[in-house]
Structure 1
C-alpha cells in the first residue's frame, strides 16, 4: 500500500541554501539548508544528518530531498548541514585524524547549528519567531544515523588516543536512525576495522532517549559488517529506554530511496518502501515531541494491517 491518505495534508515549503555559518577550527565554514512550511507557528525542529555515500551531492545539503521535503511539508523546520565528509568538499583524503568520516565534527556540527538558531532565522526571515526551540529531534541516514546515535547518547572510543567518546546533545528529545551502523567489535568487517576504526567501539548501552531505528531487510553491506541486515537493528536491540524498530522487506541501504529522487545510489529504489519509512518517521516524531499522542499508533496500525506487509514493526 502507499501512504496516500494524509492525516496532515502537505503544505508548500520554503527552502534556502546554502546558509553559511562562520566557524572556527573547522576546515571550512559550515553550510546548511533550511526548509520549513510557508505557514504555521511553533514549528518543531529536525536536525538532518546525511550519509557518507559515494555521490558528490546526495551527501550534502543538496541531497535527501524526499526526507527533507516530507517532514517540512508536514510541519517541521528541517536544518540540514553539510558535514566535512561530504564528497563535494574534497576533504575525505585530507591529512586529518578524523578523516574520512569526520565522526566528531559531524556531531559538533549539529550542536553548533542549535547554538546558532538565531542566524538560521535571519537567513530565512519568514521563519523568524516560528521555531519551537523546546521540541528538537535528530534524523540521520547511514553515517548520519551514527551521528544521530552519538547525539542521543551512544558512545565509542577515540581510535587516536583511546579516550571515551561522549557527544550527547541534551537539547534533543528524540531521534530516528536510518540504516545506522550497528555494534562494533567482531561484527565489523576487516575493511571497516581498518578504514573506520571508530565504529569498533560503538556502544548503545547509554542511548536512553526515544528513537526509531529503521533498517532494510536486504541491507547486506558486506564491506562494513559480517552479520548482515540485523546489524542495522542493533541500536534498537542493545539500547535502553523507549525504542521502536522498523525493518522493511526488500529494502537495502537506501530504504527504498529516502536520500534522493531517482538516485543511482538507491539500488533498492521503491517508492512504496520509502513512503513507509517517511510516514513512520514523521509519526514517531510527532508523538515523541508531544505534538500528537495518536500519530504513532495511527501510522503503526496502517502499516501492520496492510494487505501485503511491507516489513516488521515492533516497539518497547
Structure 2
C-alpha cells in the first residue's frame, strides 16, 4: 500500500481547504473508491487503520480532513465540550462537510486522468463513503438524507424544516458508524425519506455522545427506507471505539473496547463494500449475524444484524 498526501487542496467554489490523504494498493487497478469522513474533532488520520485495511483488500481510499471540525477546531481555547456542541450546529460546517466529500470525488476523478501515481487506477463508477459520528452524518447526507435547519447557527432560511439536498449521485453506497436518529443537532423524521442507496450502519449498546444514544441510533434504522439497508448492533461498543488511528502519528481519545470492536467493524465494512462496490454476492450473503459471529471477542460478545 502507498500513502499519498494532498495537504493543500482548496475548493474554489467555497474557499474551503480540504486536505486529502490517499491509501492506494502499490500496483494494479482500477480499484473501487471509498471516501472517509472523520468525526467532530478528528482529522485525516482518525480512521487510518480502517483506511489501510480497506486498501489492503483492493480499494483506493481517500481520507478527507474537514478543517472546520477537525482536532484543531475541537481544541480551540481547550473548551472541548462547548466546541463540540458549537461545531455540530455550525451552519457552514454542517452544510459544508458533504460538499467536502463531493470535492474529494472531483479530485479523485481528476487524479485518475492526470496524476502519475493514480492515472487509470481508480474505478470512478464504484464510489462509496464511510464516516463515523459527524462523519456518519456526512455520509448520510451525501447518501441522500437532508439535514434539519432548526438547530443551525447562524440560521439558514427558512429556519425550519429540511435543508438543501446535498447528495452526490456518484456515491452508490455508504457506511455510517454511529448513525444518528431524529433529534438535535442533525435530523428530523422527514430527513430520512430521501435515503435511497444501500447503507450499512454500525452501533452498539454504549454508543452515546451528546444527545444521541444507542436507542436513538436504532431509531435511525427504523426510519431508513427499505432496500439494501443493514444495521449491526454490538454489545458494549462505545462511541469512541468505531474510529481507529492505529498506525498513524495521531492518537485518538481512548476506548477500552476499541480492540474488541474493530475486528467486527472492519470485517463488516469490507463485506459490505465487496457486496456493493465489487458486486460480490457471497459477501452480501455473509453480512449476517451468523457470518460475523466469528469476529466477536472480549467485551463484544453479542452481535445482531438487522436488514430490510
Deviation at 1:206, TM superposition (A): 1.5
Take 1:156 and 1:141, find their aligned partners in 2: how far apart are those partners?
Answer: 16
* Aligned 8 A contact 1:22 1:30 in 2: yes
Which residue in the other structure is 1:251 paired with? 237
User: Structure 2 matches for 1:86-125, cutoff 5 A?
Assistant: 86-88=70-72, 99=90, 102-121=93-112, 125=116
Pair 1:311-2:303 in alignment? yes
Distance 1:268 1:153, change over 3 A: farther
Pair 1:73-2:56 in alignment? yes
Distance 1:72 1:237, change over 3 A: same
Which residue in the other structure is 1:164 paired with? 162
* Structure with more helix by fraction: 2
Pair 1:129-2:107 in alignment? no
Which residue in the other structure is 1:239 paired with? 224
| 2:291 corresponds to which of 302, 310, 316 | 302
TM-score when normalising by structure 2: 0.81
Aligned-pair Cα RMSD in Å: 2.9
Aligned residue for 1:248, secondary structure, equals strand
Deviation at 1:121, TM superposition (A): 4.3
Kindly tell me the number of residue pairs found equivalent between the two proteins: 283
* Aligned 8 A contact 2:20 2:44 in 1: yes
Distance 1:23 1:156, change over 3 A: closer
Which residue in the other structure is 2:79 paired with? none
Unpaired runs of at least 5, structure 1: 1-12, 54-58, 189-195
TM-score when normalising by structure 1: 0.79
Distance 1:299 1:315, change over 3 A: closer
Q: Deviations over 1:119-140 (max 9, x none)?
A: 4447863221011010001111
Aligned residue for 1:16, secondary structure, equals strand
Deviation at 1:280, TM superposition (A): 0.4
Which residue in the other structure is 1:4 paired with? none
Take 1:176 and 1:80, find their aligned partners in 2: how far apart are those partners?
Answer: 14
Distance 1:272 1:125, change over 3 A: farther
* Aligned 8 A contact 1:304 1:313 in 2: no
